[in-house]
Structure 1
């Protein structure tokens, strides 16, 4: 595709603390491919480059917890988050269009990172470095490529994936078409199958790095996206058979200032720090300026509809702040929302981190947890057979019991529609403001537009084609007829 702005390993890579803090920045413009990579440090530098765009950073981190991050925009298309300006407004009312750069930028800013990973894999494959180091390095980069590819695919549909031959001749500008759905799925799937084979098991993987468990968790998300129920069940069983993962007893404590580095529930998390190399800005996003512990910008709220959907004793709503006394001495709540709670409670999710009155926190960004494996398997076995089973209910109850809730009874969820409504509710309660995948859950069950209309009423601009975001006009223009806009946005 024209202007495939390749990073061709010819960029200055700033390594984040979540990847390899001991490494120096490497300027690949000064290194000949004939002699790089050769050493273990060379391979590690390329691996760090693959992690780099996936971190939490406002300017160029895909998983920033700000309005420029995937969780923020995706959860804002559901009842979990609501906002009244910029990207949160477009998401809340499903009013996003190709002219909205805050929506189209995720593809524009990150699709070339897929190409950069392809080039890195080729460099490693043709290097003289230690074969075992090469194998694990390639597996990590393939997992990084698959994660970014899957998340963009989930948001926009099939992508342009440039072949290696074209990437090696960057001056040859060739417009490329997007892959078909099956081609896109196969591309992501093969990367993840390869990664699951060669990555280290979770017990041997450093915190913040990809493991076999992470590769298989992403396969679960990909197979859920395609409703390949038997494959979801198989991957869930393989993760469970690792005998490594389990639920933490303290749900709320997972998002404390003490990083969950030893947690057997965390499948993958992004370490955050005060230096801003990989940052968590969530308090800044959600806390009003007059919040007593530490103020923020109050850019986003939850909805009262979402808050009311929780059972009274559900500990998972602990950090949905429904009332606070502001620094002005006024009590803010549903009856007196001011401009901070007119849509709903404050969706804090993570610890206040009161010791630091800055815009960022060291609370790590947890992206995938073992609870997702349990609920995904429950959904898969029920939908595979078309009839809920006691096993499916038992899996849901494991997650609910940690939230200090009573068991559900199979008799109350005996038909598949009732069961799926329940599983959607449980998923929203368990994963709100984590990875933004509840949007995909609603889409999978055909509830995306229905729930938006129920939330926003006549103001909703939802439509069938809004299950994917639009591409920018620049991408369509430079595609010269090969790159086609998503239907409904023309």
Structure 2
């Protein structure tokens, strides 16, 4: 059974109220007096948190651009597409008034508010089985952690809100919370989520113990906490690599044995409000209804695949001489931007590669376990195993893991974040021969600008350097 997010009047209030505020929604606009008196009512808010991940500012639209278009993996077919908003991301010419960033910020904090509502109120709801209460608490802790993880990697210091905000005015003036504190909260949320979440869920799409361990492993890897990353990644169990790489992204095979957490989409529901736009936006402009020419794979990415790597032709196709991703194609789509395709946030191959990377960083071992993990990924791709003769030291293994992640996880919203966390973003992008033209970046471009609307609303929020 699919876990489908059905918006309610309650949810619509959350998404469309307080547009001129900091997008922290007041309690008085959430529902009538006496709301949240039953398990069914709290389920609506939990569904709203999942719905937040599906929003355009997050995995419904913007995360693929912010996580891939910034990198050497993709480019815009025409920099003027969509009034140039996405083209600015591509060529590092971003303005703080760019609506893409504004929408991402707002949708993220709406999603966080949903999580905070559940955490604030669920203990007071009568007649909920403890196992359900634990699971729902763990789920929204996971969603909040994931949302903050995306925000802190995009913007750096950001406001930290962990309580339900009933009056937006009480929030103003706190400014931006340091990155270290944001990460401490993310780690705290995921640690608690791990203690509460089950190994499996009755509905596909709900967060599990494995998802929380995998995300916490990624957080620790990002911070360079290799021992902790290894511990969490070793705790991810019950998943396996699919034999055929292409099957990972098949609509008929969503939420498969390799998938750890997916954002769910469903075509043909609520006047096409629950479908994914991915099946449309990556196609060449004019080839299908609503095609936009966004996020095309670069020649550089195409050339990064080794000869015989089955992942290349399973990932990249061509129309009118322009490359596009095959991972999000929905042949059954009849309404533009209403595809069936889920968005995979974490899958088992990512876990294996992160674990191999962390083991190598902790201490290179010739033909050790890190090689075994790497070779599982390579062998599935039709490539031969590597050993210490091919990769004789930590540095060569590190470089190979970076490329293996690039081709294995291409167009899955990891590349830019991988470049930043490994310290390779400036060097890589300045050397990149982009289809979008020449540019030069410095360390200021590792973060996106804070949306100007937020600074205008609350002058305690400052801008990132370089913008």
TM-score normalised by L of structure 1: 0.83
Partner residue of 2:174 out of 173, 176, 179: 176
Partner residue of 1:476 out of 452, 455, 464: 455
Partner residue of 2:188 out of 187, 190, 201: 190
Query: Is the Cα–Cα contact under 8 Å of residues 282 and 293 in structure 2 kept in the other structure?
Result: yes
Equivalent residue for 2:24?
6
- Structure 1 pair 420–127 and aligned structure 2 pair: CA distance change class (3 A): same
Task: Flag structure 2 segments of 5+ consecutive residues without an equivalent.
Answer: 1-19
Q: Does 1:285 align with 2:278?
A: no
Partner residue of 2:223 out of 221, 226, 246: 226
Equivalent residue for 1:401?
379
Deviations 1:351-401 (A, max 9, x none): 451574744321222221011110000000101126665211111110111
- CA–CA distance in structure 2, aligned partners of residues 486 and 357 of structure 1: 39
Aligned residue pair count = 437
- Structure 1 pair 129–251 and aligned structure 2 pair: CA distance change class (3 A): same
- Structure 1 pair 162–185 and aligned structure 2 pair: CA distance change class (3 A): same
- CA–CA distance in structure 2, aligned partners of residues 298 and 112 of structure 1: 29
Aligned Cα root-mean-square deviation (Å) = 2.4
Query: Is the Cα–Cα contact under 8 Å of residues 245 and 264 in structure 1 kept in the other structure?
Result: yes
Tell me how far 1:190 sits from its aligned partner: 0.8
Query: Is the Cα–Cα contact under 8 Å of residues 282 and 296 in structure 2 kept in the other structure?
Result: yes
Tell me how far 1:297 sits from its aligned partner: 2.9
Task: Flag structure 1 segments of 5+ consecutive residues without an equivalent.
Answer: 12-27, 325-331, 334-340
- Within a 5 Å distance, the mapping from 1:37-436 to structure 2 comes to 37-55=36-54, 57=55, 60=56, 62-64=58-60, 66=61, 69-83=62-76, 84-85=79-80, 86-130=84-128, 132=130, 133-162=132-161, 164=163, 167-172=165-170, 174-202=172-200, 204-239=201-236, 242=237, 244-261=238-255, 263-275=256-268, 276-289=272-285, 291=287, 296-321=291-316, 323-324=318-319, 332-333=320-321, 341=322, 345-353=323-331, 356=334, 358-385=336-363, 390-434=368-412, 436=413
Query: Is the Cα–Cα contact under 8 Å of residues 115 and 161 in structure 1 kept in the other structure?
Result: no
Query: Is the Cα–Cα contact under 8 Å of residues 74 and 91 in structure 1 kept in the other structure?
Result: no
Tell me how far 1:308 sits from its aligned partner: 0.8
- CA–CA distance in structure 2, aligned partners of residues 171 and 441 of structure 1: 37
Query: Is the Cα–Cα contact under 8 Å of residues 266 and 369 in structure 1 kept in the other structure?
Result: yes
TM-score normalised by L of structure 2: 0.86
Tell me how far 1:465 sits from its aligned partner: 1.4
Deviations 1:414-472 (A, max 9, x none): 222222221111111111122x1221111122111221122247821421111111102
- CA–CA distance in structure 2, aligned partners of residues 82 and 373 of structure 1: 27
Query: Is the Cα–Cα contact under 8 Å of residues 287 and 348 in structure 1 kept in the other structure?
Result: no
Partner residue of 1:452 out of 429, 432, 449: 429
Deviations 1:108-159 (A, max 9, x none): 3322432332232111123334251322221111111111111111111132
Equivalent residue for 2:3?
none
Equivalent residue for 2:5?
none
